[in-house]
Structure 1
């Protein structure tokens, strides 16, 4: 059996081919796994657990079918779906994880996270992140009419798009010092994250021992799935058409 990891699908009603690739994955591949981990930004933006749209209901149903079949599913919230909450978890059967979670994968411990908190050079984003994670602000947002929230989200998405145009790629990437700080803190030699859209497996030396940082791929022209079992580890891609 194999444990699967995905992130950064950025699903929305506007990307039907991507949505169908996700549904195919949930029907054909995920049911064969030991577990499925979603490490953030499953959605292009999640406006709230009370989203009544057919798109939101179809995603919820896909997860419910998977967890009802006996496959445990774990969800780390990203910078686009930080508003996924207890309602989503209750309806789908997924387990919500914290910002950093240590798990044991076939005898090896790993720390899992979305990856945005590793980008310490992007001070403007980290300040924004701190604000939108304030409990009182999220409570206030979630109690606005859904139509108002949609307008706010549309504005935020536009600002994010404009902000990215003015930032260098280095600013939006992780810093090695923060990677090692997190791994030291959790006493692990394996880290798995998404967010940067730069799929790769990085090998480096930490305290005289080999360490690895696996970056999950974002779904666009291709989909990416990390597969880990007792004998092997591979990040596979497939065309989306």
Structure 2
């Protein structure tokens, strides 16, 4: 049994190296896995599933759908989670990919071990401005209003949000953009787990902590860049492995 987890690819047409690296990853690693989890920010922006209604409007997304649906058909279970950039990914997109949409915090049992999986943005509670935006962006009425706008207007809105996000990040203290330790311990205790896996912060690492008096671990996935990707490999009877790999070279089969 092999389970793979990835996050924060931020796929967009302006980063073809990352897109090619993802398709290489699917061909050489994911197709040999039992399960693939994509824990948010799969796309750098997603303006609605109807972007796929017009062939050729989003060639990259069409290629992603073809790749993941083929992966699903050959037997790999695919799971998708919303991130802070692609919170408008919908059931329609997931169905076309042959994937299952996951809730914000999902506990999965793999090889007899319980894992709490999250994108991770909800853990950054010290960033008051972002948490306010997050509450708005996850509001069903706000999402329905955005999705009612013409595609061209949504594309412009996505550009504006990306620019504003970049400007905001450049003016924030580093610790504010990281997870809040108390929030991590609280949600792990709530779900009765000793292992948490998330992305979002772009700070790949494995952290030791204590939850309800028990030793625990927090695995943080890295973001993908033109020269490298990150994943976590879980196999039966083995602890999760956080791995960095080059995108420009053939990937070995797990």
Q: TM-score, normalised by structure 2?
A: 0.93
Show structure 2 runs of 5+ residues with no match.
Answer: 52-56, 249-254
1:189-209 C-alpha deviation (Å, 9 max, x unpaired) = 010000000111111122332
Q: Which residue number corresponds to residue 85 of structure 1? A: 90
Q: Which residue number corresponds to residue 239 of structure 1? A: 246
Question: Within the alignment, does 1:125 sit opposite 2:130 as a pair?
Answer: yes
Q: How many residues align?
A: 241
The 3-state SS of whatever aligns with 1:12 is: coil
The 3-state SS of whatever aligns with 2:50 is: coil
Q: Distance in 1 between matches of 2:162 and 2:211?
A: 38
Q: Mapping of 1:140-219 within 5 angstroms?
A: 140-219=145-224
The 3-state SS of whatever aligns with 2:231 is: strand
Q: Distance in 2 between matches of 1:86 and 1:111?
A: 22
Q: TM-score, normalised by structure 1?
A: 0.98
Question: Within the alignment, does 1:223 sit opposite 2:226 as a pair?
Answer: no
CA RMSD in angstroms, aligned pairs only: 1.0
Q: Which residue number corresponds to residue 6 of structure 1? A: 6
Cα pair 2:189 2:212 within 8 Å, conserved = no
Cα pair 2:38 2:79 within 8 Å, conserved = yes
The 3-state SS of whatever aligns with 1:10 is: coil
Structure 1 stretches of at least 4 aligned residues deviating more than 6 Å after TM superposition: none
The 3-state SS of whatever aligns with 1:160 is: helix
Show structure 1 runs of 5+ residues with no match.
Answer: none
Q: Distance in 2 between matches of 1:219 and 1:72?
A: 22
